[in-house]
Amino acid sequence: MDLNTITEVRRPASADAVTKWENGFAWLAGGTWLFSEPQINTHTLIDLETLKWPSLKASKDGLEIAATCRVVELDQFVEKAPSDWTAAPLFRMCCRSFLASFKIWNEATVGGNICMSLPAGPMISLTTALEGVCTLWPRSGKPREVPMIEFVTGNHANVLAPGELLRSIHLPATALKKNFAFRRFTLTHLGRSEVLLIGTRCPEQGTFLLTITAATLRPVQLRFKSVPSSKEVKDAIDKAVPFDLYLDDTHGSPAHRRHLAYYFAEQIREELSA
């Protein structure tokens, strides 16, 4: 879609060059949402492509994902991931949980999906389940780090201040070396996720982590010292997810989403206890 309100496109050599933020400015990464509908309040686009951030940097400490990393790049990284990163297949599972065509897939960015902060954002599901930490760059002041579980605060809401930029997401090696289980439900084969749950278990300590997304307005994460019982999981879900935290839209009712959360949580519990 042509954006007829845009009067300027900036291509800075560094993010520091954008010192003053005004209403009507917008960061441009993949642009798959930005160009999908009118942006009547936007007059200036600031293109992140010129910053040339490396998309993916693997090290012994984990994986740094640039906000500008294309979804397709993350999907293809699975074949290059270190052999002891047992959770790496989650990248592909979450990348293929998009409600999007292959054209979108090749342009959409990880950071864009996270910053949209929609409940069904699969990059939110992935980076939260793998205990990611975001690096944020404000327009003034020092960079700050925010755990992914705290980044999204509601449906299309997050902790970003005006003009603040998501620079990267770091996934620690300790999380990437965990065993995992993945469950997702959609009303149609290629539909938007009604619920997406990911469980991980540490092979050494046996700690169990359950992440609930898509069903809820924001991600919910439950931690256990070991694999819990069925009752412990259900009780923990009830305590952490009040009924009004479940999303209510055309893709599913709160009651159905809660039912699926119970159902898939039990499947994940059984799979990771094996």
| pLDDT tens for each residue of 23-68 | 999 999 999 989 989 999 999 999 999 999 999 999 999 999 999 9
Q: What is the structure's pLDDT at 151?
A: 98
Is 1's pLDDT higher than 70? no
Expressed as residue numbers, the domain containing 46 is 8-51
With 0.95 as the threshold, say if the pTM is over it. yes
Average pLDDT over residues 204-217: 97
- Asked whether residue 214 is assigned to any structural domain, the reply reads yes
Q: What is the structure's pLDDT at 110?
A: 97
pLDDT band (50, 70, 90) for residue 146: very high
Grouping H, G, I as helix, E, B as strand and the rest as coil, residue 166 is strand
Do 142 and 213 reside in the same domain of the chain? no
Average pLDDT over residues 146-160: 98
pLDDT band (50, 70, 90) for residue 230: very high
Do 188 and 165 reside in the same domain of the chain? no
Q: What is the structure's pLDDT at 99?
A: 74
Q: What is the structure's pLDDT at 141?
A: 87
Q: What is the structure's pLDDT at 234?
A: 98
Question: How many structural domains are present in the chain?
Answer: 3
Q: How far apart are the first and last CA of the chain?
A: 50
Q: Percent of the chain having pLDDT more than 90? A: 90
Do 63 and 128 reside in the same domain of the chain? yes
Do 116 and 37 reside in the same domain of the chain? no
- Asked whether residue 2 is assigned to any structural domain, the reply reads no
For 84-127, write each residue's pLDDT tens digit.
999 999 999 999 998 777 778 789 999 999 999 999 999 999 99
pLDDT band (50, 70, 90) for residue 274: confident
> Which residues, 6+ apart, have CB-to-CB distance to 155 below 8 Å?
117, 118, 119, 217, 218, 247
Do 158 and 187 reside in the same domain of the chain? no
Last residue of a domain, one of 139, 174, 209: 174
Pairing assessment for the beta strands 144-147 and 133-137 based on DSSP bridges: antiparallel
Beta bridge pairs of residue 222: 210
- Asked whether residue 196 is assigned to any structural domain, the reply reads yes
Instruction: Measure the CA dihedral 74/223/120/26, to 10°.
Output: -70
Residue 225's closest CA among 242, 204, 208?
208
Average pLDDT over residues 177-182: 98
Q: What is the structure's pLDDT at 188?
A: 83
Q: What is the average pLDDT value for the chain, to the nearest integer?
A: 95
Lowest mean pLDDT among 58-72, 188-202, 209-223: 188-202
Q: Are the CB atoms for 176 and 130 separated by under 8 Å?
A: yes
Do 183 and 222 reside in the same domain of the chain? yes
For 127-140, write each residue's pLDDT tens digit.
999 999 999 999 98
Instruction: Measure the CA dihedral 157/160/161/166, to 10°.
Output: -150
Enter the DSSP assignment of 216: B
pLDDT band (50, 70, 90) for residue 197: very high
Q: Are the CB atoms for 220 and 245 separated by under 8 Å?
A: yes
Do 143 and 38 reside in the same domain of the chain? no
Grouping H, G, I as helix, E, B as strand and the rest as coil, residue 257 is helix
Do 200 and 138 reside in the same domain of the chain? no
Q: Which residue has the tokens 């700050």?
A: 144
